Structure 1
Amino acid sequence: MSTVAAASEWLGNPASPEDKDALFARLSARFGDRLSRSEVLREQHANTLTWLKVQAPDAVLFAETTEEVSEAVSACAAARVPVIPFGVGTSLEGQLNAPFGGLSLDLSRMNAILAVHENDLDCAVQAGVTRKQLNAHLRDTGLFFPVDPGADASLGGMGATRASGTNAVRYGTMRDAVLGLTAVLADGRIVTTGGRARKSAAGYDLTRLLVGSEGTLGVITELTLKLYGIPETILSGVCPFETLEGACNATIAALQMGLPLARIELLDEVQVRGCNAYSKLSLPETPTLFLEFHGSEAGAREQVETFAAIAEAEGGGALDWAERPEDRNRLWQARHDAYWAARGLRPGGDLIATDVCVPISALAACVAETKQDIERLGLLAPIVGHVGDGNFHVMPLIDPDSAEERTRVRAFLDRLVDRALRFEGTCTGEHGIGQGKIGYLVAEHGAGVDVMIAIKKALDPLNILNPGKIFAAGY
């Protein structure tokens, strides 16, 4: 059976083109110009930022309330039309593609901050609120939301993909940040999970089930999030190293001795060269750690001194640190722009962004083997990563017209995942599976994939929620 036929079988006799047209006509009559079938808009809503082919939905609907999401999903379920949730479009593994057509459900207009409970260090937001929007709103309260994937992603999308980022080493990922949520299930039912209590032993943990489900189990419309106090002192630093292994070993040593690092990011010499050109920096083009220390004034400075001593023992150079917000922001903006800086290293080339994550103790060996593989293959592939939690990214740049180069890169990506699994890690620390990493899921989880599929079929028997993601077509 072909892939499309197998997937269509699970879709349960999906709608014909005429049935789709009838559905979208009804939705257009209900929602007016918030329902669009513009080709340009549809393709924008399937942007993948990878070498995956763009597969546009049949229509885009801009929802404004949870009830509207429920209404739209119910209508699509009745017509057996797929629904693909959309935030701001920053996911990296094809999560937004519509391989079987359907409705892209854009939640960007659901951008209200519903409540901030300063005394309890939490807030409630709609799914379309972005992390920068939330932190701008919180600025005068002395609180902030720490999960920072780099892009100004929507919080609903961050929850759906279990996003992580530069602060994860101290503050955790979206798995840790979400106290509760509201979601619309495949039949249109609205469910609320969790609450504002910091712990609960009441039944199955539905919040954690939906966080990271990539829109395949429900459409997240609201979230309750943990907040943290803005530190008294924030110091950022840059430390060059002679080798990648030295930078990784310094990271491991700092964590093992309990140094409370807030951020620790690794850039290899190739990525530093790209950042220098793109962000107008003048860093030595050598493996480099970007760091951030949070605490009291005395505590943060003590952390800087301690790490400087650790770095020196591992071949690190002088730790150049900054306290002024404008200097710190410039440094971290350069880190956040690493994707675009890397693209500038090969104008006209395609960039394939991928990630793996390994136990901290295996980080140096895994990064070293990966670097050796890159050099053996003659690839241009910067390495950058959230090394404080063992997560690193590799971004091969390739000639889009070279079949031979694409073949080399595919083999490299396979070996990268095999290597991470050999070190008892994972095929993705934060990008998710989407379409791009489906082939690796069974290798990592084995029979556990069957359990995931059983959950998917129980909650979405018609497979209308983001079909063709996480699992191979035909499940």
Structure 2
Amino acid sequence: MATQRIPDVESGRRLPDAMLADLRHLLGARLALGLAEREQHGRGESYHATQAPDAVCYAESTEEVSAILRLCSAHGVPVVPFGAGTSLEGHVSAVRGGVCIDLSRMTRIIAVRAEDLDVTVQAGVTRIQLNEELRATGLFFPIDPGGESTLGGMAATRASGTNAVRYGTMRENVLSMTVVTADGEIIRTSGRARKSSAGYDLTRLFVGSEGTLGIITELTVRLYGIPETISAAVVPFETVEAAVASVVSIIQYGIPVARVELMDTRTVQATNRYCGLSYRETPTLFFEFHGSPGTVAEQIAMTKELTADHGALDFESASDPDTRATLWRARHAVHYAVQAMRPNAKVWSTDVCVPISSLTRCIAETQADIASASFFISIVGHVGDGNFHLGLVIDPSDPAELEEADGINDRLIRRAIGMDGTCTGEHGIGSGKIKFMELEHGRAVRVMQAVKAALDPANILNPGKVLPAA
């Protein structure tokens, strides 16, 4: 039957009439065409402009995702996957319209295998949901980027977060995935063995691909035992440089801290105001230690000594759960705390990662660069693995501020890449950092483009993301 194309009145774009009919038959009320719902699915948590899809499909199974992709492939319609909408680099913007596949209703925990220390879940399961389910087993999933992120989205963006210094990123913790390819084929990337030499490592290929090579619908991830003892510490310093230098020493000494987070003075001020806290308003490190009572006590003692050597103003440790929960709630609220410093503004959130030996210099040079900025800027970071973030609080409607922010971001990234670092440690590329891919990867970008062309020849999977046009 010939495909007739009719206008979508609210968006002004066009979708095939036959395709819409098939989607309605497949999904019923789970096909959304209303403007408000589509706009909600065309924006993340940062300054990027909303770009709404033409339709939102709420999938509930791998088979439904496959059916939707077969339809989109047949009609040449772009597809954008959506988890929780917490992305920061324009990952969910529908730059060419098309269909958004919302995976947030795929929330089934398929199998917990405590004896193997792994679990298989649907892509819409969140880390908080998973850890609530695991609590009775004595196990937990440690990757914690903040927010109520879905595991599928975390795998797609190769997320990490506050625990990465000890437990690694999603790259190290995803064992296997079920992925739907551009033509609707369902594949499993690997088995659950902890190592394999059989063929290409497709799991690592799809982790971090941001929905441009396939849509992740299920994943198997590693689990860990809940530590017998957990303790936290808050350590203020006179300067950011002193704080970061102490972290470099701690990592080089091999102290297995679970978390070490930095907030500069402005970030502590914003967090105090937003969360009703009273931390000393000076550059501050927040630590967490995991292990047996003896090993935690040893970690704390060594960390206290090393931070004192670098001029720590205080060292306040706490093991009670309420104090620790307050500390990490404050850390996870940073994005909104910083945004609240300027009503009606948006946060241009950017991140880089450098080798740990270059971290102090990179942050010091960045501080000097942003000292005269015309708007509020925060520095916060997972400094235990060389990763830090800037939060530039801007008015996105002001061309002068956008130009200034773009310049700061550009210099930050060129500074990090010049130190053999990366333009993003965990936010991903999305559409916001495509222009830096060739600077960082050179001719390797051509190899990535060849992989993309092989797996998605019609370029329907999250087009306009990750890679520059070939």
Give the match for residue 12 of structure 1.
Answer: none
- Of 123-132 and 309-318, more deviation after overlay is shown by 309-318
Q: Is the 8 A contact 1:360 1:389 kept in 2?
A: yes
Q: Secondary structure at the match of 1:376?
A: coil
Flag the structure with more relative contact order, 1 or 2, with Cα contacts below 8 A and sequence separation at least 6. Answer: 1
Q: Which amino acid aligns with 1:114?
A: I
Question: 1:169 is matched with which residue?
Answer: 165
The reply on whether 1:55 has 2:56 as its aligned counterpart is no
Give the one of 441, 446, 449 matched to 2:445.
449
Counterpart residue number, 1:97: 93
Q: In the comparison of the two structures, how many residue pairs are matched? A: 462
Indicate the residue corresponding to 2:10 in structure 1. none
Deviation of 1:354 after TM superposition, in Å, equals 0.5
In the alignment, what sits opposite 2:269?
A: 273
Residue 325 of structure 2 aligns to a residue whose secondary structure is helix
Partner of 1:6: none
Cα distance change, pair 401–78 in 1 and its aligned pair in 2 (3 A): closer
- Alignment partner, residue 128 of structure 2: 132
Report what 1:8 is aligned to.
none
Note if 1:292 corresponds to 2:288: yes
Pick from 6, 17, 35 the counterpart of residue 21 of structure 1: 17
Please state how far the C-alpha of 1:321 moved relative to its aligned partner. 1.1
Alignment pair present for 1:423 and 2:419: yes
Q: What CA distance in whole angstroms lies between the structure 1 residues aligned with 2:101 and 2:399?
A: 35
TM normalised by structure 2 equals 0.96
Choose which of 226, 232, 236 in structure 2 pairs with 1:230. Answer: 226
Among candidates 60, 67, 77, match of residue 63 of structure 2: 67
- Conserved in 1, the CA contact under 8 Å of 2:346 and 2:395? yes
SS of the residue corresponding to residue 187 of structure 2 reads strand
Aligned to 2:465: 469
* TM-score, normalised relative to structure 1: 0.95
**Residue in 2 aligned with 1:197?**
193
**Alpha-carbon distance in structure 2 between the residues aligned to 1:350 and 1:68:** 36
CA positional deviation for 1:401: 4.0
Measure how far apart 1:402 and its partner are.
Answer: 2.8
> 1: distance between equivalents of 2:430 and 2:296?
39
**1:38 corresponds to 2:34:** yes
Shift of 1:16: 7.7
Deviations 1:270-305 (A, max 9, x none): 000001011111111100000000011121111111
Match of 1:241 in 2: 237
1:256 aligns with 2:252: yes
3-state SS, counterpart of residue 317 of structure 2 = strand
Letter paired with 1:84: V
Select 1:380's aligned residue among 369, 376, 379.
Answer: 376
Separation in 2 of the partners of 1:322 and 1:21?
A: 61
The alignment's C-alpha RMSD in Å is 1.4
> Which amino acid in structure 2 is aligned with residue 91 of structure 1?
S
Aligned to 1:4: none
C-alpha distance in 2, partners of 1:402/1:218? 37
How far 1:378 moved relative to its partner?
4.2
Distance 1:373 1:52 in 2: 23
1:83-117 CA-to-partner distances (Å, cap 9, x unmatched) read 11111111111110111111100111110000111
Q: CA deviation at 1:351?
A: 1.2
The offset of 1:379, in angstroms, is 3.9
Q: Give secondary structure in 1 for the equivalent of 2:16.
A: helix
Conserved 8 A contact 1:355-1:394: yes
Q: Distance in 1 between matches of 2:94 and 2:315?
A: 47
Q: Confirm or deny: 8 A CA contact 1:243 1:315 kept in the other structure.
A: no
The one-character-per-residue Cα deviations of 1:332-376 (angstroms, maximum 9, x if unpaired) are 000000000101112222210000000000000000110111103
Counterpart position of 2:11 = none
Please say if residues 195 and 224 of structure 1, whose CA atoms lie closer than 8 Å, have aligned partners that are also in contact.
no
Equivalent in the alignment of 1:155:
151
Map of 1:316 onto structure 2: 312
Of 45-54 and 257-266, deviating more is: 45-54
Q: Residues of 1 paired with 2:395 and 2:200: CA distance? A: 48
Between stretches 28-37 and 138-147, larger displacement belongs to 28-37
